[in-house]
């Protein structure tokens, strides 16, 4: 009889126990991080360093290369950023327009008070004058008054500049005037 109770006890305990389901690990949901590009995390613009002004020449060349423009004929040592005091809260000025050199004058105090987008816009604008003899008449990147430095619009203006949609060179007459203004 003890055997029957033992068998009955085993059967009852086996039947009454909840079936054990194997534990399935919960699928880990990893949400993709959406990175919205801006000047500070852009793979090119983020290389610009206000305390290392020549870094902007590197990013300008890299941007130009995206549009098939090779600026390697201009030696890095031939591009000069000169720290100077400029009047009237001017942060920078092209000093090599219509010449065979690139020299950008920078008032570093004013320049460092600009935000990243303004710094990049200013340098691209001034390099546009010195490297390509681009005039203000083309608009866009070369417009004398900044319409917007919003990242996406700036991308369009850079593209339009390097693809010559918004690009006009100084005329010979304008170059004569510019050289007369910059001859000390």
Between these two residues, 167 and 64, which has the higher pLDDT value?
64
Which domain range does residue 73 map to? 54-182
Interatomic CA distance for residues 70 and 12, integer angstroms: 85
Crossing angle of helices 55-66 and 151-162, in 10° steps, is 70
Work out the burial of residue 86: count CB atoms within 10 Å of its CB; fewer than 13 is exposed, 13-18 middle, 19 or more buried.
middle
Residue 5 lies inside a defined structural domain of this protein: no
In a domain, 95, yes or no: yes
Residue 144 has pLDDT above 70, yes or no: yes
C-alpha dist (Å) from residue 42 to 71, 130, 135, 154, 178: 21, 25, 27, 12, 34
**CA pseudo-torsion sign 157, 161, 167, 170:** positive
Q: What is the pLDDT of residue 174?
A: 87
Q: Tell me the pTM.
A: 0.78
- Is 177 inside a domain boundary? yes
Q: How many domains does the chain have?
A: 1
Per the domain annotation, does 81 fall within a domain?
yes
């Amino acid at each position: 009889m003890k055997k029957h109770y033992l068998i009955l006890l085993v059967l009852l305990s086996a039947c009454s126990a909840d079936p054990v389901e194997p534990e399935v690990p919960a699928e880990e949901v990893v949400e993709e991080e959406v990175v919205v590009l801006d000047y500070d995390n852009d793979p090119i613009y983020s290389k610009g360093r206000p305390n290392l002004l020549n870094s902007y020449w590197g990013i300008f060349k890299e941007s130009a290369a995206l549009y098939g423009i090779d600026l390697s004929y201009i030696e890095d040592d031939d591009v000069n950023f000169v720290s100077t005091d400029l009047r009237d809260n001017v942060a920078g000025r092209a000093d090599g327009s219509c010449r065979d050199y690139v020299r950008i004058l920078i008032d570093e105090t004013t320049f460092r008070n600009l935000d990243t987008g303004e710094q990049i816009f200013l340098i691209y604008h001034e390099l546009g004058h010195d490297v390509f003899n681009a005039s203000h008449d083309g608009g866009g990147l070369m417009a004398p008054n900044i319409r917007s430095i919003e990242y996406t619009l700036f991308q369009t203006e850079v593209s339009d500049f390097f693809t010559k949609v918004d690009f006009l060179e100084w005329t010979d007459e304008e170059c004569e005037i510019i050289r007369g203004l910059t001859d000390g």
